[in-house]
Each structure stands twice: as structure tokens, then as C-alpha cells.
Chain A
Amino acid sequence: MERKTKIHAEDGKQDLTITREFDLPVALLFRAYTEAGIVEQWMGTKVLKLENKQHGGYQFETSDPQGSVLFKAHGTIHDVVPDQKIVRTFEMDSAGFDAQLEFIDFEQLSPGTSKLTMHIIYRSPAHREQQLKLPFAYGINMAHDQLQNIVNKLK
């Protein structure tokens, strides 16, 4: 599939912007962010709580097949305007990273297409670099796990 997701991150800044265009009406794109059952599918995490309203909160949790928790995150919903925007915080539990502020804008491009813009603000440029580095580190771990699996099969 064509790579449509773009990241704009200037060196030394403490924010970044993720943009993506979808072949979806804006209402469906918004639903994908506000219905727990759908969020679970595309984020690949369990949604324990998702309150789409001012002063609402949300909680995500991912466990491995043995049931031990791999990832836990939570945040507070600051503002929700249907089919337009969500303003929320995001913080990983016991990961040692500070909370980040997320402005998520939903925009109709045509009746069948829409655009998502996530503006994420971190506490410092260093905090942003740490977050950027996570999928990189995770990728290395995944590769290592796969290697381990292959090696175990050889035993």
C-alpha cells in the first residue's frame, strides 16, 4: 500500500505533526477514534475506558498471550467536537515519560475522503526524541524475539 502517513518534526523542537489522508468520510474517521471497539482493532490494544467528553478519560492496556501487561497508557480528554477535533493528553504508565498533549483534527476533503492531523506537544525536545525512538527500539526487540523463536525451534 502507498505510504500516505507523513511526519513533520523539525530538529530541536518539542512537537511534531502526523498527517494522513483517508478514503473515508470524515464521520467514519471520527468514529474510529471514539468507539472503543474500533480503537481496539486498529491500535491493537484493549480499551478499558474511553469517555468522549470534556473532563473525560481513557485507558489502554495491552497484554501478551500469557496475560502479563506489556503496555498501559492513559489520558484525559480535554475537548471533543464531533467530526472536527479531539484534544487530549497521553501518558504511558510507569514508563518514566511525561505526559504529552495531542491536538487531533478531523477534516473533510470531499464527501468520501478526509484528513487527519495529529499535533503532539512534548515536554522537551529530549522527550520528543525518546518517544520517536521507541518504535525503533521496539523494532529491534521484535527482530530479536523472532530470532529467539527461530533459534528455539532449532534446539
Chain B
Amino acid sequence: MDLRRDVFQAIADPTRRAIITLLAVHAMTPGAIAEHFNSSRQTISKHIQILTECELLKQEQTGREIYYHLNPKKMKTIADFIEPFRNMWDDRFNKLESIMKRSINNPSGKKK
């Protein structure tokens, strides 16, 4: 079975979050990315590979160099997960509001 590769797995790791932050500024070569970290070049390319498999990064060939840049479309899916979370709270708060409105009409708070 394939390892699950999703956006959340990608951003669960601090090094990968740091790579995303770096690339948010501008596209970079793997070598330039690795220079920002104390980890081995091999470790960093493994992180880059995971980010690419999650489609958070895209490769671009410029001459002999490969540049990595962020895939803004995929970054948006994080925002998409907020919607079910927001709906959950909205449902709860709608309930809260209707319950408390009933208690305005029935101030003793006693059930009829």
C-alpha cells in the first residue's frame, strides 16, 4: 500500500514548513534550499520529494537547473478544510441561539 500523501502530512513536519516558507518568497533550486538547513542534502531532497508528491511544490526546468516553486492551488485545500469545521460551530451556535431565545420567552427556565 502506498503511504498516504496529503497536504496535512506535508505540513506536519517543521523542516517542510520551513521549506514552504522559503519558497513562498521565490522559486529556488534544491541546492539553494539545502543551504538554509543544517540537515544533509539527502534529507532535504527527501522533504522536497514529499512536498512534490503532495503537489505542494512544482518543478520548473530553467536551463540546466531545476527550480521549485509553490503550487498555490494546493495550498488552498488547507483553507477548504476550515469549511466543515466552521459549519460544525455554526450548527452549534445556531442551536445555542434558538435555545436561549426560547428561554427569553420562558424566563423562569422551567420546562413546560
Interface residues of A (CB under 8 A from B): 1, 3-7, 9, 11-12, 18, 20, 22-24, 28-29, 31-32, 38, 41-44, 116, 125-126, 129-136, 138-139
Contacts and interface: CB of A to CB of B under 8 A. Distances in A.
Given A24-B97, A42-B99, A126 B11 contact: yes
A65 B73 CA distance: 42
Identify whether the interface residues of A are mostly helix, strand, loop, or mixed.
Answer: helix
Interface string B95-108: 11101110110000
Contacts of A6: 86
Contacts of A131: 85
B89 to A, nearest CB: 5
A88 to B, nearest CB: 16
Given A18-B89, A126-B11, A24 B84 contact: no
Nearest to A131: B85
Identify whether the interface residues of B are mostly helix, strand, loop, or mixed.
Answer: helix
A109 B17 CA distance: 39
B82 A9 contact: yes
Interface residues of B, number: 30
Given A12-B17, A28-B104, A135 B93 contact: no
B85 to A, nearest CB: 5
Given A5-B89, A5-B93, A130 B8 contact: yes
30 contacts: A3-B90, A4-B90, A5-B86, A5-B89, A6-B86, A12-B20, A12-B21, A20-B90, A22-B96, A22-B97, A22-B100, A23-B97, A24-B100, A29-B100, A38-B96, A38-B100, A42-B95, A42-B96, A43-B92, A126-B12, A126-B13, A129-B81, A130-B8, A132-B81, A132-B82, A133-B81, A134-B85, A135-B84, A135-B85, A139-B84
